[in-house]
Amino acid sequence: MQKQYENENIVIQVIVSTDYHLFKFSILLSKLMIKLYIILNSLFALVLNQQVCPEDEYRFKNECIPKSCQQYIEKITSKKKPSGKRFLSLDMNGKVMKEKDDYRIEIEFNDELVGIFNRDNNQSCITDQLYRHEMNYVHDNKDDTAIVSSFDQKRRKWSFLIGDLSNKLYQDKQSDKTIYNGFYTINYFVKDYVILQYMFDFQIVLDNNQKMIETHFNDQLLDDQVSCNQFGTCVQKIYTEISFCKDKDCTEVAAEPNITVNTPVYLISEIKDEGFLDWYTHDLELTFYSYQLVKKFRPVFEQHNPGKTIFKLVVPFIADKGSLYVSAKLTKNSYWRRVLEDEIGTSLAISIYQDAPCIKKGSNNQCPSQELIEKTNQLDCGCVDIMYCDGIDIFNAMMLILILLII
């Protein structure tokens, strides 16, 4: 009897074991079938999208493009150096020009094809669109200002007027001058695909009699391959999230930060875009914007981690409540080097901290009045190319400049 019971028990165990393995096998088979379905579905979609182009057209980014346009696309397609850095044979530079009571932005580039873009040549399929941005290239709006084109000795010039500085640019009012800040891009399209982007920001400095003192212009070209992740997604810029920290390690964020002039404060910038969570941000530049005040400054310290950068600020000015704009270089690596003149620029990681707190003269003070701001803030501090002031650690500033000159 005992033996029969044991035999029955073994049979039951075998049946249970067999059922369990069959169950595991069915789950594994189901997963394989799901993966196979995804792959086949993707291939099917790819085949459907692979439309056959007519004889006088060729495929470009899943679109049929006239073969006559190929030479223009190749002209603005980047190539790789032995170092791996990408470069363009297109040399594009801009500047600010005074024209009677107005100001004109002039962009010059080499045009051996006598019309690289559709604006100058109907044979080209590359169109363009001008955009105006908020500070540090945050957000954008189409700008339909007329662009004038001229050509001379294989050089092309595009230009457009900025008529009303106060309405189109960001104003920093000082006791002896006013500085106007502008942020623009021109996107170049093949159908709806952005193949190239020209980014430029500038400053126009006027005295109290509205006479021009000086101008500054910064620009870079970004192609469609400037920053591509492992999934093949390529970007010219991504958005990050900015938070104020309660301590230098940012173990906890501050819901209501209290900022005092020349007192250290810590912030954290976090990448939220899928596919770029393990990338790095470097070389941060911040702009504080409030009523008639635009102040640019840089961190005195940056700690880089994948997807996160903790940085230390020592703010050298006082200000009423406003907005804090942040831009940084986006890279795959934990290091960043200066872009050479003919090389493709670096993608931006940008963000805005809306409703940024005021910057007080003392920790127990109220937000400063406009009168106190004008009396306290140093002239030229945090504007144009002057990022550091007397209240900042000058040694750190000089070391940063030295490093930028070396690399």
Q: Using CA atoms of 388, 330, 319, 216 in order, give the dihedral in degrees to the nearest 10.
A: 60
Confirm whether 91-223 and 237-406 share one CATH topology: yes
Q: What is the dihedral of CA 84, 201, 193, 129, to 10 degrees?
A: -150
Find the helix or strand (DSSP H, E) in which 39 lies. Answer: helix 2-49
Task: Considering the domain delimited by 91-223, tell me its CATH architecture.
Answer: Sandwich (2.60)
Q: Pairing between strand 212-223 and 264-271?
A: unpaired
Nearest to 391 by CA among 372, 400, 378, 401: 378
Mean pLDDT by 10 residues, the chain (407 residues): 53 53 68 63 52 87 92 92 84 94 95 95 96 95 96 95 92 91 97 95 94 94 91 93 95 92 95 94 94 92 95 94 95 78 85 93 89 85 57 44 47
Q: What homologous superfamily does CATH list for 237-406?
A: Macroglobulin (MG2) domain (2.60.40.1930)
Q: What is the pLDDT of residue 22?
A: 67
- Residue 382 pLDDT: 73
DSSP 8-state code for residue 367: P
User: Domain limits of the chain?
Assistant: 91-223, 237-406
User: What is the rounded CA–CA span in Å between residue 6 and residue 147?
Assistant: 93
Q: Cα(288)–Cα(296) distance, rounded to whole angstroms? A: 7
Query: What would the two tokens of residue 240 be?
Result: 């990050």
Pairing between β-strand 280-290 and β-strand 264-271 as defined by DSSP bridges: unpaired
Give residue 204's pLDDT. Answer: 96
Report whether 271 contacts 372 (CB < 8 A). Answer: no
Q: How do the residues of the chain divide into helix, strand and coil, expressed in percent and rounded to 5?
A: 20, 45, 35
Contact 46, 38 (CB under 8 A): no
Q: Enter the pTM of the model.
A: 0.81
